[in-house]
Structure 1
Amino acid sequence: MSNRLTNLLIPLIAIVLGLLVGAIIMLASGYSVTEGYSALWNGVFGETYYMGETIRQVTPYILSGLAVAFAFRTGLFNIGVEGQMLVGWVAAVWIGTTVHAPMYIHLPLALITAAAAGALWGFIPGFLKARFYVHEVIVTIMMNYIALHVTNYLISNVLTDNKDKTDKIDATASLRSGFFEQITDFSRMHNGIFVAIIAAVVMWIIIQKTSKGFELRAVGMNQQASHYAGMNVRRNIIYAMLISGAFAGLAGAMEGLGTFEYASIKGSFTGVGFDGIAVALLGGNTAVGVVLAALLLGGLKVGALNMPLESGVPTEVVDIVIAIIILFVASSYIIRLVIQQMKKKGGK
């Protein structure tokens, strides 16, 4: 069995095991497994509205997953996607509410500003890592809290006059689509899905088809060897965090320009940035894998909302399923070992 096939089987096996554990929990709690998973399925595919909401949920998941995956591929662990997403969200709404221009200028400007804000927030831990060898995990975690409180301050004191919510963005900066609203029974699905898919293609091109991508991957695999090969390790670390932060900033723009069309004071994190870690891990840190993993997790999150309504199964069961899936993917060496043992037995 080839390594590529094994790498494909690991997340599939993890998904099956996660669903099995969820079934066991439902049985132990006195719920019907058939009704529970049927309600989950109907919550994703039962109505066009649910399908639209699933794609809407998947959109920021793709971008936050790309942000984490890109950093992973370059040897960095970006835990700060949540904070980078928040600053991108507020930056996009700032442009959306204060700049008045035709859509072909206004919307791209808002997206670029969001990406730039996220990149700036990613630059700080990247610079500290490259210049002073400060571990990026510690810095990015702390930057999340700074981003939360800074964006709250900007919303109440800069973007508004001591209000907890900004004005709605101009229509020329909105990602909302009348076409999608019509075909999905007025769900919040928006054109941001195209931005997310383009971003996935961009990541694939950068990583697989450019010399800079080769350098970034080389630095991620072995910094010392890359240095001796003549590569600028420090510069590449900063580049990696800039690009990762830009993806995260775009994830925030999807919320600010598409789902909500405003920014508001937040008492806690949205969770989208942290879910991006699960998406990247499940997707094997590849662009295609991230898209597929985002579809799975987005579907589970939206479908779970229908479970209490149709079957009485609490939504926490799906959270457990997701956690088990990630657990098995994280401990993939166990699944890999089982596959290797089965391969040996089959060869005898």
Structure 2
Amino acid sequence: MLKVIFFLAAVFAGAVARAEILELRPQAITEWKAVYGEVEPRDLIPARARIGGTVVDLDVTAGDMVTAGARVAVVVDDKLTFQRDAIDAQLGSLRTQLVTARADLLRGESLRERGVITVQRLEQLQTAVDVLDGQIKGAEAERLVIEQQVAEGAVLSPVAGVVLSVPVARGSVITPGEEVARIGGGGVFLRLALPERHAATLVVGDEIAIGTDGDGQTGRLAKVYPQIEGGRVLADVEVAGLDDRFVGRRVPVRLPVGTRQALLVPKDAVTHRAGLDFVTVETSTGAVQRAVVPGQETMRDGAVWLEILSGLRAGDKVVHGDE
């Protein structure tokens, strides 16, 4: 029996000799806070009406993709049509008067050569032609203004993207500047609203874990807004390949809010027996098994480590590896 015990002890001692010895030292680990971020478009711009009137055409609905400058709707103001018709009638009258005035000027020049009329009368005829010509040019300019206003009845998309909402309907009466459609474009990012106590810990460029377990996507903290409202600080996170099908979708996020000191051991150093966790510790009298309470897992240099909440202290020599 004693030979068997000595044999097992020798085997165990040999295994310890082949294993690695790790002297525990407190290590800094990152504190993570789980929050939710909302998917937001980079550019959220309303397509607004430039003139008031009635919506006669509505070319988009929520969810449609549009290009920059694409027509979203058409607004018509009947008063512009009446004003243009009035200017056209005025132009017709002025052009007829101009034809008569130019004919009078030609006759006057002929009579002046024969000495029938005075130079003063000839100048009056020339002035009449110049006045009518100026009036025609003024009326044509007014007509161009009306035509531009009519053209501005086309509501255009300010950016390329997706139509998020259309708050008007065909036949609606709207005023200048009123929103006809809301366009989201330029890609998407995550918008976070965090308690203000974490504002000082946020650093632009920090890596943000997307998901609840930290094993999924990662993002980069791109911007922290300086204004705090309602006890919340806003921050934007850039995430490559973020799903942009649903704006406003909530996504779980884990972000670093600080660091703390902890004792870490390799995961393979912890064994589980009879509902308890044990770690082998090298002492002056040999290797002993200590019951420990493990905490959360963390990744270090591509390996999984466990935080030890109790059962070990700094300076202990943990045996791990091939036992």
TM-score category of the 2 structures, normalised to the smaller one: under 0.3
Of Structure 1 and Structure 2, the greater helix share is in 1
Of Structure 1 and Structure 2, the greater strand share is in 2
> What TM-score does the superposition give when structure 2 sets the normalisation length?
0.20
